[in-house]
Amino acid sequence: MLYCGAVQTYHPPPMTAPKEKPWTGRFTEPTDAFVEAFTASVEFDQRLYRHDIAGSIAHARMLAHVGVLTSAERDAIIAGLAEILAEIERGEFPWSIRLEDVHMNIEARLTERIGPAGKKLHTGRSRNDQVATDVRLYLRDEIDTIRAELERLIHALVELAEREAETLMPGFTHLQTAQPITFGHHMLAWAEMLLRDRGRLHDCRCRVNVMPLGAAALAGTSYPIDRAFTARELGFDAVAENSLDAVSDRDFAIEFCAFAALLGTHLSRMSEELVLWSSSQFGFVDIADAFCTGSSIMPQKKNPDVPELVRGKAGRLNGHLIALLTLMKGQPLAYNKDNQEDKEPLFDAIDTVKGCLKVYADMVPRITVQREALRAAALRGFSTATDLADYLVRKGVPFRDAHEIVGKAVRYCIEAGRDLPELTAAELAAFSPVITEEVYAVLSLEGSVAARNHIGGTAPEQVKAAARRVRARLAEL
């Protein structure tokens, strides 16, 4: 199930010979071989190794700080963990499925390397608070990476919006030509969706950055731990207030997946437009060859695979959100093994979001806007009909009457196979005597967009100002 995009850098080495588990004391027979494989998580949770080691180092420092470990024991643990980190990164760590998960693999290796001091590391903690801490630390780092990629994409959209602030195109409702807009305005609509996603990611990070460590198995620990010390070491903003909640809460992972699902929905909508726009029927944009693929049978084809695939990824991101919500819905307090199932959906959501954002941030600057085709499309479909109605209103005609008058003019055009600006002043005046020569100014595309000159409007001047405000908002938070 692990998604291996170009963004995933760590490739786990194969599993090696079995080792002894740390909890066999009360058992009379070894674990069934299939059960061992079925319950193990090391194949996917080993990606937490860096954060597991960081958490252990902070825990060891805290234990020495409160006098539970000697400074010699602490130093031996820290040095041993540093060696293990290097060993993992060299791809030489002997991962063992018998040791179940990343936590027990690293702890067992530590004892193997440094002897009895290694066995003291787990004092005052449990894998239950350890895993919750590791996942939060890992997710916090990934959130920061994702945020940077999201901002790179928003910047690319802002640049495109500024470049195409004056470019005219048809705006659609019901996918029918509605009113002229500027291409830049459309790009900034996409930027707004993504800015909300960025806000959601920021909010999510606040609740991710709370430390469960110290909750131990579920009830806390009898050692004189200093949770604030550990939290400072690890850069957590706060410590979880309730030990039962600390080990069982996965809201933060659900929130991240909700962010991912909504971002995926936005990217999917953007993709749908790019797929339509790059078709020969629309011909609005051209996506660089580097982001398209050909057909093995039809030589003329250039397919928008990147937007199509990103549109498809939305489905899997929605799936991960539903998987986690369903995972949690029936769980009693506190930790249950069910929680091990949080990782694959969360990890895949992270990888998928990173992949989609990277490919989009790289692709957007390589979109060529076909200004002539956009203009020609905006001229079709009576896109300035509303402007004609507004013109009549300015001349004293009530809006509902104006609507009716323009509707009749449009029907006349459809029957004659012509467009509104092609009618003579006399023909137009036949629909309402208030219409005079100056009507052509409002029937032009430029006149139509320039008239929508208020905050949030499509006028080129407004698009340029809005683009500047997006940059400022990106610099702010």
- Where on the chain is the footprint of ligand ARG (CB under 6 A)? 41, 45, 101, 127-128, 131, 335, 337, 339-340
The active-site residue out of 268, 271, 295, 444 is 295
Find out whether 302 and 289 touch, Cβ atoms under 8 Å: yes
Please report how close the Cβ of residue 351 comes to ligand ARG at its closest, in angstroms: 18
Of 41 and 278, nearer to ligand ARG (C-beta) is 41
Which position has the token pair 């005597």? 433
Amino acid identity at 65: H
Find out whether 84 and 53 touch, Cβ atoms under 8 Å: yes
Counting every residue written for the chain, the total comes to 477
C-alpha closest to that of 391 among 419, 415, 363, 425 = 425
Residue 226 CA to its chain's centroid (Å): 35
Please report how close the Cβ of residue 285 comes to ligand ARG at its closest, in angstroms: 45
- Residue 295 is among the residues annotated as catalytic for this protein: yes
- Residue 444 is among the residues annotated as catalytic for this protein: no
Of 73 and 129, nearer to ligand ARG (C-beta) is 129
The active-site residue out of 11, 174, 296, 454 is 174
Please report how close the Cβ of residue 45 comes to ligand ARG at its closest, in angstroms: 6
Rg of the chain (C-alpha set): 30
- The token pair at 474 is 């990106």
C-alpha closest to that of 378 among 166, 175, 170 = 170
Please report how close the Cβ of residue 122 comes to ligand ARG at its closest, in angstroms: 12
Of 128 and 278, nearer to ligand ARG (C-beta) is 128
Of 126 and 383, nearer to ligand ARG (C-beta) is 126
Assign 3-class secondary structure to 365-388. Answer: HHEEECHHHHHHHHHCCCCCHHHH
C-alpha closest to that of 137 among 235, 251, 258 = 235
Please report how close the Cβ of residue 41 comes to ligand ARG at its closest, in angstroms: 4
Of 77 and 253, nearer to ligand ARG (C-beta) is 253
Phi, psi (deg, nearest 5) at residue 389? -65, -45
Catalytic residues: 174, 295
